[in-house]
Amino acid sequence: MTDIAPSTATDSATTRPSVLFVCVHNAGRSQMAAGWLRHLSGGAVEVRSAGSMPADRINPAAVDAMLEEGVDIRAEQPKVLTHEAVEASDVVVTMGCGDACPFYPGKRYEDWKLEDPAGQGLDAVRPIRDEIRTRVLTLLAELGVEPVHA
């Protein structure tokens, strides 16, 4: 997917930009991305995550990797991707969900090619976590939101 249109949230003083992270199971990559965005934006961005085929629980290695960085995603639960979640978001970031991701004109789409942490240990998940953090910081800059944590 490509960047289709700029965010519709232009006045950050009155409207928070909203981002939806989507992967297949909503148990690893999208949950880590959502956790990073919540943490780094300090609430300045509305954050959603979902999966085309949600898992029963979040990947424990993803939880542990994020806890190492002071970001707690233990309370999160995988959620099914809905059309309403896409419609309510300014930016939709996909991570390997393929054709299962609905497309709406006027939304900004990005596809982040990231390794899937499913079934991998903590040592393999750490570089994925760090790459996601870098991409989230770039996304924040593009949205004009200053990170509250370095």
* Number of domains present in the structure of the chain: 1
Domain residues for the domain of 100 are: 18-143
pLDDT in tens, the chain (150 residues): 333 333 344 443 458 999 999 998 999 999 999 999 999 999 999 999 999 899 999 999 999 999 999 999 999 999 999 989 999 999 999 997 666 666 778 889 999 999 999 999 999 999 999 999 999 999 999 999 999 976
Is-catalytic flag, 23? yes
Question: Pick the catalytic residue: 65, 71, 97, 139?
Answer: 97
**9: in domain:** no
Q: CATH code at 110?
A: 3.40.50.2300
Reference 48, options 82, 72, 71, 25; nearest CA is 82
* Active-site residue, selected from the candidate residues 9, 19, 20, 23: 23
Contact 130, 114 (CB under 8 A): no
**Catalytic pick among 101, 114, 128, 140:** 101
Cα(29)–Cα(61) distance, rounded to whole angstroms?
11
Asked whether residue 150 is domain-assigned, the answer is no
In sequence order, what are the residues at sequence separation of 6 or more whose Cβ sits closer than 8 angstroms to the Cβ of residue 13? none
Q: Which two tokens stand for residue 59?
A: 């990947």
Q: Could you say which DSSP state residue 70 is in? A: T
Q: Report yes or no: 135 and 21 within 8 Å, Cβ to Cβ.
A: no
Task: Specify if 29 maps to a domain.
Answer: yes
Whether 97 sits among the annotated catalytic residues: the reply is yes
Tokens of 144: 């004009």
